[in-house]
Structure 1
Amino acid sequence: MPERDDGDRPMNEPVRIGVLGCADIAVRRMLPGFAAAADTEVVAVASRSRQKAQSVAQSFRARAVHGYAELLGMGDVDAVYVPLPAALHDRWAEAALAAGKHVLAEKPLAESAKRAEYLFALARDRGLALMENVMFVHHPRHEAVRGLVADGAIGELRSFHAAFTVPALPDTDIRYRPELGGGALADVGIYPLRAALHFLGPGLEVVGAHLVRGPGRAVETAGAALLRTRERLTAHLTFGMDNAYVSRYELWGSAGRITVDRAFTAPADFVPVLELHRNGCREEIRQDPHDQVAATIKAFVASVRAGASPRNAVVRQAGLLDEVRERCA
């Protein structure tokens, strides 16, 4: 007999996914990823618009559901993906966990560290998986960078520098709406912040920050932050959504530095190149392409089957976002 999960389905059967909302990232990246994965099956797509739900669901041979609450009541949905506007993430993640569903939510998962703590406690108490959809951390090139640093390729690590900026969005974009959780910090600033945690660890604290509100905007459109660790390492972060496109980070050491370009949103066919600068020379370390969407889905499925919600860096990340906001209040 196959091993079984908390219900009556074999654990090796695909995880049945329901999607709350038809956001661009869902239609363009995550739904194709779920459909292509052997371990997931898209069974339902919900929207406030019946027509939109039908259009998207039809493309993925799923059922269309009118309204998010109705999808949470479906017995054949094991896990829910939440790509709603940022201000709605924690509300619907909580509702899904309360309904007994595993959850993969877009970033940021929660509006504060306190809410993130609460959601992980709820998931833990119910034996459910809860994961924030920050995909770049599942790309193996970042582990390769960690290996280079650990091997002393740049001497002793001194500082981390990261930037994620994107061109201006259409005026009607929801990321300009404060009531929906818009703003550059939550949308693009979270990437360099998470990368700093990835390499420098949870002991980071914010020592300075500045948020810039563009002309006529109700939310910040750019910003920068300076962080430090007790070991005197620093992280210098820049972000914005009215800039030329930049997606990169660098680690500076006593004897060299490592540069990673297209660091956060690389497509599946992108050939990663790590640049190692030392002794006045530049060395390129080429790696195989890797699909970080597929890798994220694989990690989520593993959490679902384990019935576990590792906190990873999500709660500390939420705390640092709180600190940046407090510095700029």
Structure 2
Amino acid sequence: MKKVRWGVLGTADIARGQTIPGMQLAEHCELYAIAGRKPEKAQSYKEQFGFRKAYGSYDELLADPEVEAVYIPLPNDLHCEWSIRALKAKKHVLCEKPLAVSETQVQEMFRAAEENGVMLMEAFAYLHSPFVKAVKAELDAGTIGEIRYLESAFITGRRPDTDIRLRKETYGGALYDLGCYAISMAMWMLGKEPDTVRAAAQFSEKQIDLFTSALLLYDNGAVANLDCGMLLPEGRLDRFRIHGTLGTIVSPVEFNQAGEIPYTVIRNGVKETKTVNAPNNYSLESEQLSRCILTGEKPHVTKEFSLLVARVTDRILKEIGY
């Protein structure tokens, strides 16, 4: 099977620190082209990671007929625009989470993908982890019965005021940047939209949510408690646990974690700890979409799932007045 020639639009930190190194490990990914608004920075990425070409503009990369797929790690407000431009240029797209800033934009993006016969996938790298697959398999097998309470949180330290993730014009804030992890985890495990959404947030002076807490309530009695924030003095806090009618699953896992990941199943007071070996999540993600491009298989993170996450996010945003 041949390799997919990838282009990267932008020189964001997540591209340099996570996704590009992950792509280097993927069997069917070729780092073909990098584009940045500062040509010298794009050139430095080319030299560091072994791209064949470096461009000083995104349009130049999209005009390159050799590029088959693009990864988009741009600020949130640019996801929709540049994804659609890439899709119209007949490039497959892996776009960073959140895929867009509203469900309406997500619909527009997938419409562009369908009209141009190419694939679009939201970059939730952690969803490709064997850990997530193992926990979902436990739920599907009825190990802990029906879900009654799910808790997911992603809280980090306070970022500098100059950080792009603290700018309202780029749709920054805790919910967009970190809440999408907790929301997507809940939707992946519960599998459907909540009947009722309640949420509250703490805002900065610039009206950016520094902390958001949401309750997703289901008519069948299930509850999801989701927290996200960027206000800790230091470090980060990840929480993950699921309580069912027959037991509990709990893990100290961090989002996008690789290596040996333990999780504990508790039933009738008896604890059983299992361990999953998770490779680089970013490598799994780019490899999975590359294989889909080559074989025509459906992406792991589907259109329907991204629309569900966007719809729930919209409801939380409305609740907190953002």
TM-score of the superposed pair, with normalisation by structure 2: 0.93
1:47-81: CA deviations, max 9, x gaps?
11111111111112222100111111111110111
Write the letter of the residue equivalent to 2:316.
V
**Number of residue pairs matched?**
315
Q: Which moved more, 1:178-187 or 1:307-316?
A: 307-316
Cα deviation, residue 312, structure 1: 4.1
CA drift at 1:307: 7.5
The one-letter code matched in structure 2 to 1:228 is L
Q: Tell me: CA distance 1:202–1:43, structure 2 relative to 1, closer, same or farther (3 Å).
A: same
Secondary structure of the residue that 2:303 maps to in structure 1? coil
Out of 270, 286, 289, the residue aligned to residue 297 of structure 1 is: 286
Q: Is the 8 A contact 1:248 1:262 kept in 2?
A: yes
Paired AA for residue 82 in structure 1:
I
Moved over 4 A (4+): none
Secondary structure at 2:149 match in 1: strand
Gaps of 5+ in 1: 1-11
The question of 1:322 aligning with 2:314 is answered yes
In structure 1, give the amino acid aligned to 2:199.
A
Work out whether residues 247 and 263 of structure 1, in 8 Å CA contact, stay in contact via their aligned partners in 2: yes
* 1:16-53 residue CA offsets vs partner (Å, 9 max, x unmatched): 11111000110111111222322111111111111111
Task: Return the match for 1:39 from 28, 32, 48.
Answer: 28
1:51 aligns with 2:51: no
Equivalent position of 1:226 in the other structure: 215
- Aligned-pair Cα RMSD in Å: 1.7
Name 1:26's counterpart in structure 2: 15
Q: Percent identity?
A: 34
Contact (CA 8 Å) 2:128, 2:281: kept in 1 or not?
yes
Query: How far apart are the structure 1 equivalents of 2:196 and 2:102?
Result: 15
SS of residue in 1 equivalent to 2:209: coil
Q: In structure 1, what is the equivalent of residue 160 of structure 2?
A: 170
CA drift of 1:82 comes to 0.3
Are 2:79 and 1:79 equivalent residues in the alignment?
no
Matches within 5 A, 1:129-208: 129-208=119-198
Q: Distance between the aligned counterparts of 2:206 and 2:271, measured in 1?
A: 42
**Native 8 Å contact 2:28 2:291 kept in 1:** no
Supply the AA of the counterpart residue of 2:41: K
| Equivalent residue, structure 1, for 2:201 | 211
- Partner in structure 2 of residue 273 of structure 1: 262
| CA shift for structure 1 position 308 | 5.6
- Asked if 2 retains the 8 angstrom alpha-carbon contact of 1:176 and 1:218, the reply is no
Q: Unaligned 5+ residue runs, structure 2?
A: none
Q: 1:187 to 1:53 in 2, by over 3 A?
A: same
**TM-score calculated relative to the size of structure 1:** 0.91
**Structure 1 stretch 303-312 or stretch 292-301: which is displaced more?**
303-312
Kept in 2: contact 1:258–1:277 (CA 8 A): yes
- Residue 154 of structure 1 aligns to a residue whose secondary structure is coil
Q: Which amino acid aligns with 1:169?
A: R
Structure-2 separation of matches of 1:202 and 1:156: 14
Which of 248, 258, 276 in structure 2 is aligned with 1:257?
248
